[in-house]
Structure formats: structure tokens, C-alpha cells
Amino acid sequence: MNGVNSQTSRKRVFVVEDDLPILEVIQQILEGEDYSVTSARNGKEALEVLAASSELPQLILLDLMMPIMDGTEFLARMRENPKWSALPVILMSADMKLVNRQLGAYTCLKKPVDLENFLNTLRGFFEGRPARAPAPFHSISSINVAD
């Protein structure tokens, strides 16, 4: 019973990332920080995961450049569903030119991301702090996938 209670009290993060090594590193880091992590490899799969979820994530980390359905299309479709429309999102992209302020994200992280700033951004979100300047987007520098 304690395992169930601790599992449900963990902060729930949904990572949508097509690059498997990056996805695995993000999952390991977040799980090491005691986040409950769900993942998908593209926007289409992410919509399917959300539809099948009994418990929605508290935050979505969303890559913008993905095959099958990119992050922008996923976000537009997610926002059309009343059950999901208010889910907060942190965008992740190597190409900041793709980031559109109209997407309504909490912030945007520039890939590759710096581990300390990545975790501080998530902690800030869960502590209710506003996104760091330049508002509403904050880019951070590099997670080393080779480590």
C-alpha cells in the first residue's frame, strides 16, 4: 500500500521525444529525481497515451521536431480536447525559430539542455514560480547523452 501511495504522490511528467537516447536520459534523470514519467515517441502516440491515461500528467515536456506528428500539431490537437486543453507544456527544441509564442507553453528549453537548468526549470514549474526571462521562454544549454 505504501508503494501505491508514494507512486500517486509523485509529480507526473509526460515526455514526448522522438530521439531515443535523449528520451532515455530524460527519463533516467527525472526518475532519479522521483518524478513519475510517461513517454511517447511522437505526437500521434502522445495523443493515444493521453486518451488511455487514467491519471493525466501534471506537466508535458514536448519536443517540437518529430516524425509522424510534430509537437506543434500535437499541441494544437491536445488544446482542442477540453479534458487536456489546460495541461501545462514545456517545449524543447534545437531550433528556436520553430518556437511560436502563441503555442501557450510555460517555457521553452533549447536543446541540447543543461542538466542543472533543466531540473531548476521543472522545480520552478512545480513550485509555482513564473518562467524565467526572457518571458515566456527560457533556453538552456546541454544534457550530454554520452554520459
**In the chain, domain spans:** 2-126
- The SS3 call for residue 13 is strand
Closest CA to 46 of 26, 66, 21, 22: 66
Q: Which CATH class is domain 2-126?
A: alpha beta
Question: Among 93-97, 112-116, 122-126, where is mean pLDDT lowest?
Answer: 93-97
**Could you tell me if 78 and 56 are in contact, meaning their C-beta atoms sit under 8 angstroms apart?**
no
More confident residue, 45 or 114: 45
State pLDDT tens for residues 49-96.
Answer: 999 999 999 999 998 888 998 888 999 899 999 999 889 998 887 766
The string of DSSP letters for 25-76 reads HHHHHHHHTT-EEEEESSHHHHHHHHHH-SS--SEEEEES--SSS-HHHHHH
More confident residue, 75 or 6: 75
